[in-house]
Chain A
Amino acid sequence: MPRLVEAIMEAEKEAAKIIQEAEEEAKRIIEEAEEEAKKIIEEAKNTPVEVTVMEDVEREVKEIVDRAKAKAEELKRVASERMNSLVDEVVREVLEGEWGGSS
């Protein structure tokens, strides 16, 4: 009988070792997974993000300003055509109209 007890004790020792090894391996597996998870999240935080906005704003800005410059040129052209006759008209209105003074 002592041999049986001895064999069982040995087997239990061996079983405890097997379980302990498995627990250590499990701990390692989980630690590795946690490490990998950290890396995945860290990578998501730092990966450059590509944005696809389909608008050529620089071209649009240039067009807006160019249109205004063209309008300014047109204003100058039109005003210079009208200016002389309008000056004469306004001078006449100033001198002959009811703008006379204040007392």
Chain B
Amino acid sequence: MSGEEVVSVDRDSEAIVRAILKMAEDRANAIRREAEKRAKEIIESARREAEEILRSRRERAEREMREEIARKRSAAEVEANQIVLMTKSELLREFFRRVHEKLAAIADGQEPGWNYEEILTKYSLEGANILGEKEVFLMGREKDKSLLEKVAKKLEKDGIRASVDEKTVPVIGGVVVRDSRDERRYYNTFDGRLRAYREAKEVEVISRLFEGV
């Protein structure tokens, strides 16, 4: 090979080498660009996912907060209702305790304006009439026995033969009228009257006691 031929080969190989290396560089750059593009997509996708996670967590936290607020408000309203209801209940209990106390005082003759003997007479006569009996027995408190004796005498003028029963009844006041065979009884006691009154009129009493509040 001549000197000129050697130079020519060197030039050719250099050009080929350069071309090969250029192609490799280009390919390498393309690989890097592709990787960077893919990396950018990965990061952007992660950011979108993160944003979604945060939005969802915020929504959940707000929902939980609102539920907690509703729970607290509801519990406060229940507590408020209980305060009012318990107060009404205590006042109503106190009211009927006073009624009971007053009835007991009337039965013990401690209330001016009330004549217990007259009440017993009226109740006994009412009982005898309802039973439709001309002979009856009167039952009351132990301490009312002497009063019932007087009542029994008073009933004679109404044509009723009344006797005081040996048996007593544990009541605030009033009388139980029974027939001579003790087959039928008529309960005209303060306790029974108060119970019947409460059953019929308690709502009205509540309304009158607390009206306007």
Residues of A within 8 A of B (CB): 1, 3-4, 7-8, 10-12, 14-16, 18-19, 21-23, 25-27, 29-30, 32-34, 36-38, 40-41, 43-45, 47, 49-51, 53, 55, 57-58, 60-61, 64-65, 67-69, 71-72, 74-76, 78-79, 82-83, 86-88, 90-91, 93-95, 97, 99-103
In the complex, the answer to whether A86 meets B209 with C-beta atoms within 8 Å is yes
CB distance from B60 to the nearest CB of A (A): 8
B60 to chain A: closest residue by CB: A49
Binds A, one of B123-131, B137-145, B151-159, B160-168: B123-131
A87 to chain B: closest residue by CB: B98
CB-CB under 8 A for A33 and B209, given A22-B29, A68-B81, A94-B190: no
CB distance from A68 to the nearest CB of B (A): 3
Cα A62 to Cα B124 with chains together (Å) = 58
User: Number of residues in B with C-beta < 8 Å to the partner?
Assistant: 90
Total A-B pairs, Cβ < 8 A = 232
B 11-44 binary contact with A (CB < 8 Å = 1; else 0): 0111011001101110111011011101110110
Cα A46 to Cα B13 with chains together (Å) = 60
Cα A102 to Cα B12 with chains together (Å) = 134
A88 to chain B: closest residue by CB: B102
Q: Cβ of A22: which chain B residues have Cβ within 8 Å of it?
A: 27-29, 31-32
